[in-house]
Amino acid sequence: MQRKIWIDNLRGFCMLAILLDHTEIYYAGKNIIDYNLYVANALVIFFILSGYLMYKPTKFKIKHKLDSIFRTLLIPYFIFTTIIYIPKNIIHCYDIDFLDMAKSILMGQASWFVAALCIAELIFSIGIWISKGNNILLAIIGALGFGISIYLSTRNQTYFWQLDNALQALLFLYVGYIYHQYANIFNTINKPSYTLLLSLLLIGIKIYEHYNQIDMVIWHIHITNYPIFLLDTMVCSLIMIQLFQTLPPIRWLSWTGRHTIVYYFLCGGIPLITGKLFHNIGLSYEGNYLYILLAFLCVYITTTLVTYFIYKYIPFIIGKYE
């Protein structure tokens, strides 16, 4: 199947959003741009795009998908989280505890998003295989998973392999799956007038969330108004998908999108190091957002160079052989 460049572009754009979020946190010590404004949306879009790619017009090959999860998600998770454990603890000035490292990695706590995506794709793949792609059964799986995640989020505890986030993601995988299946129908409303109306709706939703102090934190799950959360994320996702389907290929952005798994593993450490370096050379954030943008540019360039090196010289650690 021909690669869809718009998906790479959109993934790359969402990765930039995550890098900016982490740059603000590690450099300024807080979110300067409200987390609720864009971070949850970027994470949900990642899950939706994963579901989009899981739909196949031909017979779904469960063995092929399980192999893909193992090679491109599970193996990289174990390798990267093991490699970065010691440097991360040194930078944070934490004690090195290999027993704690092993427990964190084996329990799926070392990288919440990748762990949740692994489990969510595994459950949804099995659902597709067992139901033979029956949309009603898949909708039940998505809705039931999301409902259970709401209950689990009230228990105030950490779950094995981010089960709460994985179950939450099932609904978003289903949304992406069904969007791809009925792409021709959705494309009929992919017009500037509809996108403009949806954008105005989204602005109104964001204003409502701000004035009512609605939280939409994905991890650890803290969502104070689920109907608004779903309306926000679905409208935003539809806007972004429609927009990026019409945009021309953006080479550097699509490259980022094709390599988001490595970017994600690096999106904590490199912003942290960059923030410390900026402080050490006297560029502390003191309300000047231009410093944030400069740090963000350094973060993106450095992360891109490290990602390029990994794919060029040691691609086997992320299941690639290019």
Query: Each residue of 179-227: pLDDT tens digit?
Result: 999 999 998 888 889 999 999 999 999 999 999 999 999 999 999 999 9
Which tops the pLDDT comparison, 92 or 25?
Answer: 25
Give me the pLDDT at residue 216, please.
96
Mind listing the pLDDT tens digit for each residue in 114-166? 999 999 999 999 999 999 999 999 999 999 999 999 999 999 899 999 999 99
The predicted model gives 26-35 an average pLDDT of 94
What pLDDT does 1 receive? Answer: 58
* Number of neighbours of residue 169 by Cβ within 10 angstroms: 31
Contact indicator for 279, 239 with CB cutoff of 8 Å: no
Structure tokens, 71? 């090679």
Measure CA 251 to chain center. Answer: 21
What is the identity of the amino acid at 47?
Answer: F
Q: Identify the sign of the CA torsion 102, 105, 108, 112.
A: positive
pLDDT at residue 322 above 70?
no
Provide the pLDDT for residue 229.
98
∠ Cα 83 76 266 (to 5°): 60
pLDDT tens digits for range 51-95: 999 999 888 999 999 999 999 999 999 999 998 887 777 776 677
Query: What are 289-296's contacts with CB under 8 Å, separation 24+?
Result: 289/32, 291/27, 292/23, 292/24, 292/27, 292/28, 292/32, 295/23, 295/27, 295/271, 296/19, 296/20, 296/23
**What was the pLDDT predicted at 43?**
98
Phi, psi of 217 (to 5 degrees): -80, 125
pLDDT at 321: 53
Give the pLDDT confidence score for residue 44 in this predicted structure.
98
Helix, strand or coil, per DSSP, at residue 217: strand
8-41: string of b/e by CB count within 10 Å (b at 16+)?
A: bbbbbbbbbbbbbbbbbbbbbeeebeebbebbbb
The predicted-structure confidence for 227-258, as pLDDT tens digits, reads as follows 999 999 999 999 999 999 999 999 999 999 99
**CA dihedral sign, ordered 222, 225, 226, 229:** negative
Q: Are 87 and 273 in contact (CB under 8 A)?
A: no
The whole-angstrom distance between residue 61's C-alpha and the CA centroid of its chain comes to 24
pLDDT 10s digits, 285-310 = 989 999 999 999 999 999 999 999 99
pLDDT higher than 90, residue 318: no
> In one letter, which amino acid is 109?
Q
Q: What is the structure's pLDDT at 26?
A: 94
Q: Three-state DSSP class for 177?
A: helix
CB 291 within 8 A of CB 278: yes
Name residue 190's amino acid: N
Res. 274 pLDDT band, cuts 50 70 90: very high
Q: Which two tokens stand for residue 105?
A: 């990695």
Between CA 145 and CA 42 the distance in angstroms is 20
Tokens of 174: 């289903």
Average pLDDT over the chain, rounded to an integer: 93
Give the residue with greater pLDDT, 275 vs 86.
Answer: 275
pLDDT at residue 47 tops 60: yes
Cα angle value 82/23/21 (rounded, 5°): 95
* pLDDT above 70 as % of the chain: 98
